[in-house]
Amino acid sequence: MGAPVSLAVVIEGAPRRRRNDTIYALADFRLRGGEGCVQEVWFAVQGSLRDRLGSQNFEIWIEPIRLAPTTGTSMRLLLPNRYFRDWVKENFGEAITEEFHQVLGTPVPVDFLIEDREGGGGELEEAAGSEEVHASAETMEEASQRSARRSAPIPGVAVDKTFRNFIVGSCNQFAHATSLAVADDPGANYNPLFIYGGTGLGKTHLMHAIGNSMRERDERLNVVYVTAEQFTNDLIESLRYRRMHEFRDRYRKLPDMLLIDDVQFLGGKDATQEELFHTFEDLHKRGKQIVFTADVLPREIKMLEPRLRTRFESGMLADTQPPDVETMVAILRQKAEDMGLEITPDLAQWICTRLRGNVRELEGALNRLKASCRLHGVKPDLDAARKHLVGILPEAPAAPSVAEIVHIVASFYNLKPADLHGARRLKQVVRPRHVAMYLIRAHTELSFPDIGRAFGNRDHATVQHACKKIRSLMIKDADLRNVIETLERMLQR
């Protein structure tokens, strides 16, 4: 291939290379040994490698590689660990070296180095396994590159979904707390974390927030996010083209954290469940954090293998419930502020009473309102909302009566309404009575004294204590939260 060339020379007449749709004319590129110029060479090589290796291989194996300060005689690449280094060198080393040759117009040695994470990025291990090389102090440009990597989005994860803009209420307090705990100490306490709840209640937001929090803390950690459908499709493609080793490397060997959304769609897909089971076992054994979301509890996913269900249930189950009107208003005002939309209190209340519990529909209503007001040149007030949202928002639902709530709760617990209204304090009656009081308080305008009178002239302090007790128990009792969520759905029918 010829004698190595020093990167301090001026390169003239180098060949033109295409990176996607951009032509890199290196005939006009003068490399004078500056790190910024060397970085431009690496960008050009990355572009060629993406075209040569394909997007999936590029994102998994090439994108995590960083460029180390050059010695002036070779290109030095930083790789996350020994396994990663060995795999890249064996499978893509020749391609990387050839692309540097093509970009520079002359052969240049490429050193594959292992970044020492324990040393805070200051120590590197030579690819040959010999002596350690101490990197020079971080330059301003390197600091800028590090910041850019930290802010680089995780594929599939929305950068705007963070813990900072997640509205916490009684409906999601437990799920939020466990998600924070996982983000603060992944793989330690709640592994796996299984977040479940109805559509549009914030499950995916929490999952994305966990991923974004990990990226902010340490950009070197590899967070993999995928939906259950994407996981299945990746498996099918890998089987079809005999690339299962790449599939297993992506989901087992590389992730420091694996996030899988909507696992309820895995029901009945035996091959996918088999692969996910072994993926779970491999990651969990090595202490890597795993997070799942689903619309239902694991035991409610139809045609789910028992061994996979037990893995889902082996960590922490955290649910998200439909938010009450107050929490919905807070969410709406937060999202309106993010959109630069000023919402009055009466307008917020009007919208939220018509969209009970679905945050995703709330976002759609805000987008429609903003577009309509901009189109007609009016302010987003109650009159504008009544005019432009009437087609997409239902009428305000009628509040359930006390009798309806008592009847539904009594039927659910196999009791009679008279049992809840009566004075008996049997254990099997007290809990349902407290649940009924809690739901009446949440779904009607009745005061504590009014509710007390509806239950045999009980003191308002008794009702207040019952509601407070149910709220407190829901934070730590997953079964009770599931019961309340079921009763809430029954009330909305």
**21-74: pLDDT as tens digits:** 323 333 333 344 445 567 888 888 988 888 887 765 677 678 878 888 776 678
Q: What is the pLDDT of residue 9?
A: 40
- Rounded Cα distance, 318 and 67, in Å: 41
Using CA atoms of 292, 294, 297, 303 in order, give the dihedral in degrees to the nearest 10: -100
Pairing between strand 123-125 and 110-116? antiparallel
Question: What average pLDDT does range 116-139 have in this prediction?
Answer: 40
Closest CA to 212 of 260, 151, 291, 167: 151
Q: Rounded to the nearest 10 degrees, what angle do helices 325-338 and 359-376 cross at?
A: 50
Q: Is residue 469 within a helix (H) or strand (E), and if so which, with residue range?
A: helix 460-476
Map out the domains of the chain with their CATH numbers: 16-151 (3.30.300.180), 173-320 (3.40.50.300), 333-388 (no CATH), 402-492 (1.10.1750.10)
Residue 51: HSE in the Cβ half-sphere, 13 Å Cα cutoff:
12
What residues contact 338, with CB distance under 8 A and at least 6 apart?
160, 165
Closest CA to 177 of 56, 75, 318: 318
> Is the CB of residue 183 less than 8 Å from the CB of residue 209?
yes
Pairing between strand 75-79 and 110-116? parallel
| Model confidence, pTM | 0.54
Using CA atoms of 424, 425, 431, 436 in order, give the dihedral in degrees to the nearest 10: 40
Q: Based on C-alpha coordinates, what's the Rg of the chain? A: 29
Question: What average pLDDT does range 154-161 have in this prediction?
Answer: 87
pLDDT tens readout for residues 210-241: 999 988 888 888 999 999 999 999 999 999 98
pLDDT tens readout for residues 250-304: 999 889 999 999 999 999 999 999 999 999 999 999 999 999 999 999 999 999 9
Q: What is the DSSP string of 325-347?
A: HHHHHHHHHHHHHHTT----HHH
- Rounded Cα distance, 193 and 318, in Å: 7
